[in-house]
Chain A
Amino acid sequence: MSQPEVALRARGLVKRYGKLTAVDGLDLEVRRGECFGLLGPNGAGKTTTVEMLEGLHAPDAGTIEILGERWTRATADRLRERIGIALQETQFPEKLTVAEIVRLFRSFYARGRTVDEVVALLELEAKRGARFAKLSGGQKQRLALACALVGDPDVLFLDEPTTGLDPQARLQLWAVVERFVDRGGTVLITTHYMEEAARLCDRVAIVDRGRVIALGTPAELIASLGADQVVELELTGELPDAALLAVDGVRHVARREGRVVVHATHVARVVAGVLAAIEGAGLGLTHLETHAATLEDVFVHLTGRGLREG
């Protein structure tokens, strides 16, 4: 079989649910062996996009290619053998054990890894005989990943795999995804956690209202702000943007949730200038915070909204 350079390609994807357009002309290209992230708030159309790529829904318009093939009746079985999927929260049968569930999923694939192998890979040995109902959130997600990996897929789809998990469970899951990519696997992951996208993804597409609004490596996206630092302020009154933009090193000013968000270079110099501007306007300062720019700041810069605001 030929091994095309592009693992996934979507062109002009559209999906409507009644009046709502969930996905609105989305383009996507995921290269072989890369971990590609779809970053966006809830309701941005990430899940709908992924489920179309997985062959679960047909798009209303646009084309999808996976490993060089389109979803048709003839290719579906072959493609399903080569992809692994962890849906957003899968509730497996409560009364079945970890080993029984993995074994069931293994039986669906013509080739794949053994149950013992994936149970060990996901560090679920101690829970082999535990029923699904008794698992913690992190263990349930690792089981979902075990079922996604048991067919030894070429492409792995992960839809919000760490939502609701504690930091340690999240780290554990990330390690498994990284190992999969190290072995040459391709990953498409959706998330609304910027730190997840920054840590795991080679490239990130920022999605909003069913479209890709920015694309690049996490570093490129942050660099696109033209400012690597962010200063957030809470003031006792209104300060015009112009007063802030006049400060040397300020690149961009936005307002969000009652805060003034200033993108800047040379944070020390900018903070001094901004404080002077506030004092000059006769205002008081109730909160000051600075941090290195993140993907979240990129999203705010592009949309004027936060990732968790939807």
Chain B
Amino acid sequence: MRHPLLELTRARLLEFVREPAALFWVFGFPVLLTIALGLAFRSRVPDEPQVAVVAGLAHEVAALKAAGGLGVRALAPDEAARALRTGEVALVVARAEGDRVTVRFDPTRPESGTARLAVERALERAAGAAPRVTLVDEHVDERGGRYVDFLVPGLIGLNIMGSSLWGIGYAVVSTRSRRLLKRFAATPMRRAHYLLSFILSRLVFLAAEVALVLGFAALAFDLEVRSGVLPVALVSLLGALSFAGISLLISARTDSVEVANGLMNAVTMPMWLLSGTFFSYAKFPEPLQPLIQALPLTALNDALRALVNEGAPLASQAAPLAVLAAWGVVTFVIALRTFRWQ
């Protein structure tokens, strides 16, 4: 007979691979997300801004068309207003009285600003202004700075959080609700072995999960792991242990799968939004920043991004790693003290 820890881990792994839905969420979903978001935000030249000119301003239509770089449509005033409202056009040239041209646009839309500059330049040229400065364009496509480079480490972080939380918490709670936890407690099984088996089985899948997403991004999007693989593996491991602790704490007492699910959603939802997985958390108000940076997913994402995209040395990530370690240790200790076997 083999060691109970190995047998428990083996049982966990068997249960997991026989659960097609779990396999999909851990392995299929992150890859699909990488593909979808990578394609949607792949680096490409933005479409030329669309502008509407109120019908009757023939001179302006001609001038804008001649200048190039703009999509120009002549529309009746009400149609032009509708096109602006729905986002079909970025800007409407509404009136022209001598050299006073009125343009209407929403200043919070980035393409409207671009359109305004292009319209201004085209009309000035048409009025005979000569360019005083010539810009020479040099195009770059720096790996590490694209959206997909930003996205992939965040997706890995998100995936580590999701699979640790649900992979462990759901299994513990359903085992308790089936009274199986109590049945185990009535055998000479070491309780630490039981909890450790979850962590061991998680680690097996963690390696596969991280390798799959990173490998896919390297092949499909030419992602470069600048730090090398080992530091990424270590940070992923720490992240997984940290979320394992959080998961054990969430599942320490309840025997209702619904309650556990609600608790996990309550824990993960704020981090989905705040922790800078899909967009930078710098956009959130300043007073929130210390709070956001104390979240474990933020720490994990920041560390992974610094390693993957900037090739930062592991030692430079002491702060986020300390945040992860603190979450892991504190939650694990509380979980062990409060864990209910019945």
Contact = CB atoms under 8 A, between A and B. Distances in A.
B4 interface: yes
Contact of A77 (B3, B4, B19, B188): B188
A104 B188 contact: no
Contact residue range for chain A?
20 to 34
Contacts of B132: none
A107 B19 CA distance: 24
A45 interface: no
Nearest to A101: B11
B195 to A, nearest CB: 15
Contacts of A107: 1-4, 6-8
A105 interface: yes
Nearest to B3: A107
A131 B19 CA distance: 13
B15 A108 contact: no
Contact of B11 (A80, A87, A93, A151): A93
24 contacts: A57-B342, A77-B188, A81-B188, A83-B186, A85-B183, A87-B183, A90-B178, A90-B180, A90-B183, A92-B178, A93-B11, A93-B15, A93-B175, A95-B14, A96-B14, A104-B8, A104-B11, A106-B1, A107-B3, A108-B4, A108-B189, A109-B187, A147-B183, A151-B188
B178 A91 contact: yes
B7 A56 contact: no
Contacts of A90: 178-180, 183
Interface in B151-204: 175, 178-180, 182-189
Interface string B1-29: 11110111001001100110000000000
A123 interface: no
Contacts of A96: 11, 14-15
A110 interface: yes
Contacts of B7: 103-104, 107
A54 B8 CA distance: 23
B186 A54 contact: yes
A103 B7 CA distance: 8
B188 A109 contact: yes
A164 to B, nearest CB: 15
B185 A92 contact: no
B342 to A, nearest CB: 7
Interface of B: 1-4, 6-8, 11, 14-15, 18-19, 175, 178-180, 182-189, 342
A69 interface: no
B15 A55 contact: no
Given A87-B183, A103-B7, A107-B8, 14 more contacts: A54-B186, A56-B185, A57-B342, A77-B188, A80-B186, A87-B186, A89-B179, A92-B180, A95-B18, A96-B14, A96-B15, A106-B1, A151-B187, A151-B188
Nearest to B187: A108
Contacts of A92: 178, 180
A47 to B, nearest CB: 11
Most B-side CB within 10 Å, residue of A77, A106, A107: A107
A92 B8 CA distance: 13
A55 B186 CA distance: 7
A25 to B, nearest CB: 23
A234 interface: no
A80 B188 contact: yes
Interface string A124-152: 00000001000000000000000100010
Interface centre among A83, A89, A105, A110 (most CB of B within 10 A): A105
Contacts of A56: 182, 185-186, 342
Contacts of B182: 56, 87
A142 B187 CA distance: 18
A151 B1 CA distance: 12
Given A54-B186, A77-B188, A85-B186, A100 B14 contact: yes
Contacts of A77: 188
A83 B187 CA distance: 8
Contacts of B6: 107
Contacts of B19: 95
Contacts of B179: 87, 89-91
A95 B188 contact: no
Contacts of B4: 107-108
A100 B11 contact: yes
A110 B36 CA distance: 52
A115 B19 CA distance: 25
Counting chain A CB atoms within 10 Å of each CB, the highest count among B1, B4, B182 belongs to B1
Residue picked from A87, A89, A104, most chain B C-beta under 10 Å? A104
Nearest to A109: B188
A41 to B, nearest CB: 21
